[in-house]
Structure 1
Amino acid sequence: MRVGLLGAGNISRQYLAALPRLSNLRLVAVADALASNADAVAQAQGIPARSVDELFASDDVDVVLNLTTPQAHAPLTIAALQAGKHVYLEKPFATSIEEADAMVAAATTAGLRVGSAPDTVLGTGTQTARALIDRGDIGQPVAATAFMLGAGHESWHPNPAFYYATGGGPLLDMGPYYVTSLVTLLGPVESVTAMSASPREVRVAPQGAPRAGETFPVEVETTVSTLLRHVGGAVSTLVVSFDVVASTLPRIEVYGTEGTVAVPDPNTFGGEVALGRQRTFEPVENLAGYRDSGRGYGLSDLARAHAAGEPHRQSLELGYHVNEVLERVLESAAAGAVVPVRSRCERPQPVPLGDDPAAV
C-alpha cells in the first residue's frame, strides 16, 4: 500500500523508523497543518510535501496514516474515507462515542478499512503472554491488574497542553494501550465501574522541561481507577494516573486458577514475559508476535489482510470497542454507577512468531 502520512509531529518519528522494514508499505507523501513539519519529513524521506486537501485527493495514496492530535482524529479520518482512502490512525480512536459512531458510518458507507493504534499488542510481549493463556498454562483466567502510573507528560513532551485538554488525560492517552492489551488477552468488556480524581486545576512544566515554567489548564480527570468485567467472566482492575511520582506496581498481570503471567509494558512491543507458580516467576522465551517490531506494524498487518481478503487485527471494531470502554469508564466515574458496554469485537487473531507482517 502507498502511504500518505498525515501529521508529522513527535510520534511520526517512530513510524518513520519502522516503515523501511515493512515490505508491503511505501511512504509516498506527507502533509501537516504546519508546513515546516511536512517539509522537514519530505526532505528527509525524499517524498513530496502536500497540503491536507492535496493528500486526500492524491491518486498515488492508498491509505492515510493519521498521526494528528486526538481532537482531529475523527474529522480527518472521515474526510479521508470520503476521499476514497483507507485509514490507519493513532490512538485514541476518537474523543467521544458520537465521533466514533460517525467514523464507523463513514467507513461502512465507503467500504474501506480503518485500523487503529496501539499496535504494540502485536509484538512478542503481549502475544507471548496470550500464547501462554491460550494453551492453558495459567488455567482458567480469573482476573487481571493493570497500572499506568506517572507524573504527567509536561516533564518531557514538547507540546503537552493537549494531554490535559478535553480528549486527553491518562485514560484516553495511555488507557488504549492497556485496554487493548486486556481485550487481546481476555476478550471484550461487557461493563465497567470507575472512580476518578483531578487534584490540580493547572499543571506547570518543571525546570528542565521543553516548556519549563508554562502552565496548562486541566480539563480532564488525571487519575482514574476502574473495574472491567470481560464477557468471558474475568475481571480486570485498571488504574491510570498523571499524578504519581513513583510506583513499584507491575504493568499487567493476569491471574488464572493454576498460575499467573506477568505481561510487559503494553506501550512497548517486546519485553520479558514471566510465568508464575508457587510465588516464583520464570521468564518465558518468545512464543508469538512480530519480533523487533515498532509503530506501523498494525498498518502493515492491515495491508496484508487487505491483500488476502481477511480481517486485520487492529480493526475498526477493536478500536471502536476500546474507545467505548474508555468513554464508559468516564461515564461511570461521573455517575458513580456500573455502566454497560454496548459494543463487542472479536478477540483479534493471534500473531505467529515472525518478523514481517507481510509474510506472516
Structure 2
Amino acid sequence: MTLSRRKTLALIGGGAILAATGTFAYDITRLPRTASLPWDQAGQYDDPRMRALSWAILAPNPHNRQPWRVDLTQPDTAILYVDPDRLLPHTDPFSRQITIGLGCFLEVLRMAALQDGRHVQFDLFPDGSDAQSLDTRPVAICRFAPTDAAPDPLFAHVPQRRSLKEPFDMTRPVPDAALTAIAAAALHGTTVGTTNSEADLAELRPFSHEALRIEIETPRTYKESVDLFRIGRHEVDANPDGIDFTGPMFEGLARTGMFTRDIAFDTTSTAYQQGLAAVFANTDTAMGYVWQVTPTNTRADQIRAGRDWVRINLAATAQGLGTQPLSQALQEYPEMRAHYDKIHRRLAPGGGTVQMWARLGYGPQTRPSPRWPLEEKIVG
C-alpha cells in the first residue's frame, strides 16, 4: 500500500507548516541527505560489475524493500541472492512479487552492462527453488563477457523511471500509440495487454479501489505497510527503503506528533481516514491499464515478468506516462481470493497467471525513491 504524497499533504498537513517559524521552519524544508545519492552515483565505479549493479539497484521492487544481496567473490561473476529479512509475508506470502522485483533488477543489470560493452548470461536458480517461499539459495549467477551488441535504447530512461503514486490528469487520455509502444517493450515471453477504453476504465477503476480497500482494512496486511513507513528525512536517511514520507509537510507533522505509525494504524484517526481518500484518488484516476500474463507461475516465469515489467515501465517513461502497479488484487492471501479470481477471469480469460497490473496516466514529476548504497548490498 502506498500513499499519495501530494494528496495527503493537502488533506492533513496545512497547520504544521503554517505554524512553523525560524530554525524549525528552515529545518523542516530539508530533504534527505544520503537516501538519493545512489541515483547520482550510478555508473561511477571502476569495476564493470559494480557499474552495472549501481544501476540495477535503482530497479522497481515491492514496497521498496530492495531485497537483493550480491556476491562478487568470483571474477567476472555476480551471484544474486534474496535477503530473507526483506520479504513481505502477509501481502506476498509466496514471494511472487519479490521475485518479480528481482527480475527487474536483473534486466536493469543486463541493460547497464550492455551499455558498457558487456553481455550478461543468467543462470537462474542454479540450485533449485521452492514455489512456496524464497530461501538462501542463489537466485541467479550472472556471468559477464565482452560483446559488440548494440545498447538497449530503453536504458536511457532508467534515471527518470518512477512508480508514480499520485493522481493522474483525467483531462489527458492515454494515446493508442503509447499503448502500442509500451506493449512492444516486453521481450522476455510475457503476454501484455493494454486498454484505454472508457468502458474498461469505468469497470476497472472501482475494482482496483475495492482491492486496495481490502488490503488496508485487513489489519495484518495494512500493518505490514505501516511498519515500513519512513516518516521524515532522518528516518529515510537512516533506513532508505520502505514507504517514504518526506517534504516540509511531513517533517512538520512528524515534529508535532501529528503523523506517526501508531496514528496511521489507528482507524479512527484523521490521518487514517484522509489517507484512505488519498490512495483512492490514485486508483480512481487511472487513464489506462497495462497487465502481464504468463502461462504458468514458476519462479522463472516470475523473473521473466519482472524483466518485462521494468521494460514496460521504462517504455511508459519514454512516452511521458506515469505508471503505478495495482498489486493488491493479485495478492495471494485469503481475504483477497475473490478479487484475485475475478481479475484473472477478466485479464487472463484463457488461463495463466496475471503477474502485473498497473494504471497509466499523466501526472506530476516526483523525486526518486530512496536507495541503500550499493556497498550495503555486497556480501562475501
Q: TM-score, normalised by structure 2?
A: 0.25
Q: Which has the higher helix share?
A: 2
Q: TM-score, normalised by structure 1?
A: 0.26
Q: Which has the higher strand share?
A: 1
